[in-house]
Amino acid sequence: MKKKALSVLLTGAMALSMTACGGAKEAETTAASTVAEAAEPSVDGQTYTVGICQLVQHAALDAATQGFKDALVEELGDAVTFDEQNAQGDSNTCSTIINSFVSSDVDLILANATPALQAAQAGTNEIPILGTSVTEYGVALGIDGFDGTVGGNISGTSDLAPLDEQAAMLNELFPEAKNVGLLYCSAEANSQYQVDTVKTALEGLGYTCEYYAFADSNDLSSIVTKAASENDVLYVPTDNTAAANAEIINNICQPEGIPVIAGEEGICAGCGVATLSISYYDLGVGTGKMAAKILTGEADIAEMPIEYAPQFTKKYNQQLCEALGITVPDDYVAIEE
């Protein structure tokens, strides 16, 4: 890694927030950014700048970013500086952010969520890139026959919980249900992968499944309304657009008495009754430890396989379960409010 003079680094925390809008000039599409305090040289005299591109602000991605930063600071102390930017849900803004990191010649990029990773892949083949909160790297990066290692300048962590176990959870809670609606954003490749896999598992358990794809938040309400009217249960995968609009889903499904099984805890807290949960903070911590090894030369990113969450927990939304009259087994843990 290259040495950076301390004098050229920022010495305070800075926050900048600008709203992205279609067709606006580049400056107006730059999302909120945060730069940490200036880095102090490490024992070997080196300092490191890490660019963080997060797709959107919501609990899961926020936790992954925080875990990443905490772990990297624990490993490298004051030798690391963060340039943290949020794309406010706009994939085009992800590209703008990544290009700024490339121009600044950062030492490593954290791409938090699939569109951020895709933008980073397109933006540089030299700067090390770590993804997190990415479900399936082969799908996200268009790799046929993906064997668990991306190679080149990309690696990271996956938030994929076992999809067959998610289907089994739905069956455990709703064995008498017949029709399951698979609700997801068609613009997210990893969401398509998840619902395809869950559909196969659920059909093997005797359910009839139907896809309900929405293009973005604009048509979400109409699609959810249709899905809720035609099904006994809905399944929502780990999906960034759904996570950012969970309240809309709940406002339609709860009055209709339609339960939602969610792919991750953040969505479940907003509109679901149960989920097979991972800790996104712990996922971020694992990513931060990978980053430390890359920055210090301890590991070669080209040889680092994708890492997964170490454990999964059955969790439930106590308030929503009570409202819908759903009783969960004793091994489910209530989501903390």
CATH number at residue 174: 3.40.50.2300
Calculate the dihedral angle through the C-alpha atoms of 200, 246, 239, 164, rounding to the nearest 10 degrees. -30
H/E run at residue 139: helix 137-141
Angle at 81 between CA 75 and CA 87, to 5 degrees: 115
What is the tens place of the pLDDT at every residue in 232-283? 999 999 998 999 999 999 999 999 999 999 999 999 999 999 999 899 999 9
Residues 96 and 71 in one domain: yes
Residues 148 and 262 in one domain: no
Above 50 in pLDDT, residue 200? yes
What is the tens place of the pLDDT at every residue in 10-23? 333 333 333 333 33
Residues 66 and 89 in one domain: yes
Q: pLDDT over 90 for what percent of the chain? A: 81
Q: Which amino acid is located at 267 in the chain?
A: I
**Could you tell me if residue 204 is inside a domain?**
yes
**Could you tell me if residue 1 is inside a domain?**
no
CA–CA dist 330, 337 (Å, integer)? 19
**Could you tell me if residue 327 is inside a domain?**
yes
Q: For position 67, what pLDDT does the model report?
A: 98
Look at residue 42 and give its three-state secondary structure: coil
Above 90 in pLDDT, residue 29? no
Look at residue 13 and give its three-state secondary structure: coil
What is the tens place of the pLDDT at every residue in 293-302? 999 999 999 9
Residues 104 and 211 in one domain: no
Q: For position 58, what pLDDT does the model report?
A: 86
**Could you tell me if residue 23 is inside a domain?**
yes
CA–CA dist 311, 110 (Å, integer)? 23
**Could you tell me if residue 149 is inside a domain?**
yes
CA–CA dist 335, 332 (Å, integer)? 9
Reading across the β-sheet that carries 233-236, which strands appear in turn? 208-214, 179-185, 233-236, 260-262, 274-277, 313-316, 333-334
Residues 240 and 292 in one domain: no
| Span between the terminal Cα atoms of the chain, in Å | 43
Q: Which of 49, 54, 157, 145 is nearest to 103 (CA)?
A: 49
Report residue 155 as tokens: 């690696």
Above 90 in pLDDT, residue 53? yes
Residues 115 and 196 in one domain: no
Residues 44 and 145 in one domain: yes
Q: For position 41, what pLDDT does the model report?
A: 53
Q: pLDDT over 70 for what percent of the chain? A: 87
What predicted TM-score, i.e. pTM, was given to this entire model? 0.77
Reading across the β-sheet that carries 80-86, which strands appear in turn? 14-16, 33-35, 80-86, 48-54, 108-112, 129-134, 154-158, 307-308
CA–CA dist 184, 223 (Å, integer)? 10
CA dihedral over 290, 69, 5, 130, signed as positive or negative:
positive
Q: For position 336, what pLDDT does the model report?
A: 87
The DSSP secondary-structure symbol of 300 reads -
Q: Which of 236, 319, 288 is nearest to 76 (CA)?
A: 288
Residues 222 and 150 in one domain: no
Q: For position 313, what pLDDT does the model report?
A: 94
Residues 14 and 145 in one domain: yes
- Alpha helix positions (H), 142-276: 163-173, 189-204, 220-230, 240-244, 246-256, 265-271
Residues 28 and 134 in one domain: yes
Q: How many domains does the chain have?
A: 2
**Could you tell me if residue 241 is inside a domain?**
yes
* Dihedral-angle region of residue 69 (phi above 0 means left; psi in -120 to 50 means alpha; beta otherwise): alpha
What is the arithmetic mean of pLDDT over 62-77? 97
Residues 216 and 193 in one domain: yes
CA–CA dist 58, 239 (Å, integer)? 11
**Could you tell me if residue 228 is inside a domain?**
yes
Q: Which of 285, 268, 265 is nearest to 320 (CA)?
A: 268
**Could you tell me if residue 233 is inside a domain?**
yes
161 and 135 Cβ atoms separated by less than 8 Å: no
Residues 215 and 141 in one domain: no
* Dihedral-angle region of residue 77 (phi above 0 means left; psi in -120 to 50 means alpha; beta otherwise): left
Segments forming the whole domain that contains residue 295: 6-159+280-305
